[in-house]
Amino acid sequence: MQSNNRSRRRRLWMRFTALFMSLILMTSCGIFGSDSGTADLMGSQDQGEARIERYAGEKSQVITSVYTARKELSLTFNGMGDMQTMERLLNELDKYDIKATFFLPGIRVAEEPDIAKSIAARGHEIENNTLNHLDLTKLDYEQIYKEIQLSNEVIEKETGISPKYIRTRSGDYSDDILLVAAQLGMEGVVSYNINPKDRDMKNAKEIGDYVARYMSRGSVISLNTDINPEIVPAIRFIAEAAQDIGYKLITLSELVNNGGERKPLEQIPGYDAAKLNPDYKGTPYELVYKADTGKKEIAITFDDWATDKTVTRILDILAEHDVKATFFLRAQGVEHNPNLARAMIEEGHDVANHSYAHQVVTTLTPEQLQEDVVKAHQVITEAIQEQPLMLYRPPTGVVDHATAEIIAATGYPRIAMYDVTTLDWDVKNSADDIVNGIMDKTQSGSIILLHILDGIHTAEALPTVLERLKEKGYTFVKMKDLIE
């Protein structure tokens, strides 16, 4: 057996060497663009080896996730397993109509080009996983350049595909890697934001459950094809999780092309609408509990933060019933998932400030409270790429005269309260409890408080709430329209 393995490795290395030599002997365009370029990189015994100069331009972009409100994310793979494993994996992806991105090591493409060609033929994307699947963060600049450039050339020679993205074996990157990628004209260095750690030999269900737990719009999932065979049956669980939320798994290039660009905070109008202001005593404010109106108009509002699965379900229910709401967001959650906040805006809802860390405002010093309010404002502004609605709702609804002045002085003179609440944040309150509480308390001009927390019964109750309130003749408006 050992003799057979040695023979196989020897044959593969001979094939790679032959491919390598054919590349450097290509007329007019060697591995690195010209015969002189090849000589510069490979060097010669007579002249000595010329070094690759460090690139002096802008570094390549890093892609860990993509800014988008669309219901899309990307499934990516590293390495290249054996023919049997890869065939099973490709069949499973076909079964669930998933198009993925494969980061392939150049040497594996040289060893078994038919696998790479099969990946491309099935409509998947092929990108660069370095030549030898090494940890590039431990190499010098010239070694990094050779590892990426030669792998690009091998992949293009065998498949006709010119990679535009590079990912290291671990997904880690350094400034040198970013500079080399830019020097070679590549579009980005790719990492990930969902890593189910299949290297730890988790079973398929564990891998799928991990991905489902962190699945979000614009995410980049990272799996390995050559370590844990359980990734093949894990595809079913990942596909089912995406289908359950209503998300689509697409190639990385498509995800990037469909995504948007996030402007820096300072370039967004209204980013400084909230500021620290130590001169807060005597600042006027208004606590808004409901609207004084003769119309049967009401506003439905949601507090806090949750996972994509919970929030997307609530957004889908609101869209189905053509209702626009106001979301008071805990910015600490928004900071980790800005795409979800942007999705609320793109679906026509308003987004407002519900603090950063969700601390009871009466327990904070004036400085701590103002810092929290301003930080939340900035985080939300950057996430949604526009100024949020200038309403502030205090966590737990607790506020007094002193803290109201402090909040108002930052630029939030209107403090959003409510007159209808059913304590839906408490999992002990069932969907029926929530429905009955709202129906009993709602009046013209009411501001209804609900929550977007995981594990509670709000989403279950919401369709019935909307239907019954409409049956009673109520129309839904956003809170700003109700109180103005």
Question: What are the tens digits of pLDDT across the range 83-123?
Answer: 999 999 999 999 999 999 999 999 999 999 999 999 999 99
Confidence class of residue 16 from pLDDT cuts 50, 70 and 90?
low
Domain boundary among 209, 235, 258: 258
Clarify whether residues 41 and 135 are in a common domain: no
Clarify whether residues 402 and 458 are in a common domain: yes
Nearest to 358 by CA among 342, 388, 379: 379
The pLDDT tens digits of the residues spanning 279-309 come to 999 999 999 999 999 899 999 999 999 999 9
Domain boundary among 233, 258, 283: 258
pTM for the model stands at 0.88
Domain boundary among 206, 232, 258: 258
Across the chain, what does the average pLDDT equal? Answer: 91
Q: Is residue 425 part of a domain?
A: yes
Of residues 12 and 275, more confidently modeled: 275
Confidence class of residue 18 from pLDDT cuts 50, 70 and 90?
low
Q: How many CB atoms lie within 10 A of CB 71?
A: 17
How far is Cα of residue 200 from the mean position of the Cα atoms in its chain? 23
* For range 202-216, the mean pLDDT: 97
Structure confidence at residue 33 (pLDDT):
37
**pLDDT surpassing 60 at residue 422:** yes
The pLDDT tens digits of the residues spanning 426-459 come to 999 999 999 999 999 999 999 999 999 999 999 9
**pLDDT surpassing 80 at residue 7:** no
Clarify whether residues 190 and 301 are in a common domain: no
Q: Is residue 111 part of a domain?
A: yes
The pLDDT tens digits of the residues spanning 214-235 come to 999 999 999 999 999 999 999 9
Q: Kindly state the helix (H) or strand (E) to which residue 63 belongs, with its residue range.
A: strand 62-63
Clarify whether residues 241 and 313 are in a common domain: no
Q: Using CA atoms, how far apart are residues 481 and 484, in angstroms rounded to an integer?
A: 5
**pLDDT surpassing 80 at residue 258:** yes
**pLDDT surpassing 50 at residue 357:** yes
Q: Is residue 264 part of a domain?
A: no
Confidence class of residue 239 from pLDDT cuts 50, 70 and 90?
very high
Clarify whether residues 121 and 37 are in a common domain: no
Clarify whether residues 98 and 190 are in a common domain: yes
Structure confidence at residue 14 (pLDDT):
54
Q: Is residue 241 part of a domain?
A: yes
Clarify whether residues 390 and 283 are in a common domain: yes
Q: Is residue 263 part of a domain?
A: no
Q: Is residue 195 part of a domain?
A: yes
Structure confidence at residue 19 (pLDDT):
55
Q: Using CA atoms, how far apart are residues 9 and 3, in angstroms rounded to an integer?
A: 10
Clarify whether residues 23 and 91 are in a common domain: no
Confidence class of residue 137 from pLDDT cuts 50, 70 and 90?
confident
DSSP string covering 422-465: --TTSTTS-HHHHHHHHHHH--TT-EEEEE--TTSSHHHHHHHH
Clarify whether residues 3 and 100 are in a common domain: no
Q: Is residue 265 part of a domain?
A: no
* For range 404-409, the mean pLDDT: 98
Query: Domain of 157: which CATH number?
Result: 3.20.20.370
Say how many domains are in the chain. 3
SS3 state of residue 249? strand
The pLDDT tens digits of the residues spanning 37-94 come to 333 333 333 345 568 899 999 999 999 999 999 999 999 999 999 999 999 999 999 9
Confidence class of residue 10 from pLDDT cuts 50, 70 and 90?
low
Per DSSP (E only), the strands in 354-408 are 389-392
- The parent domain of residue 412 ranges over 270-483
* For range 310-322, the mean pLDDT: 98
Q: Using CA atoms, how far apart are residues 7 and 62, in angstroms rounded to an integer?
A: 40
Structure confidence at residue 122 (pLDDT):
97
Q: Kindly state the helix (H) or strand (E) to which residue 10 belongs, with its residue range.
A: helix 2-24
DSSP 76: E
N residues, the chain:
484
Q: Is residue 11 part of a domain?
A: yes
Clarify whether residues 19 and 110 are in a common domain: no
Clarify whether residues 288 and 390 are in a common domain: yes
Q: Kindly state the helix (H) or strand (E) to which residue 119 belongs, with its residue range.
A: helix 113-121
Structure token digits, residue 207: 């891998």
SS3 state of residue 325? coil
Q: Give the whole-number percent of the chain exceeding pLDDT 90.
A: 87
SS3 state of residue 294? coil
Clarify whether residues 239 and 377 are in a common domain: no
Contact 62, 193 (CB under 8 A): no
What number of CA atoms fall less than 13 Å from residue 322's CA on the CB side?
Answer: 2
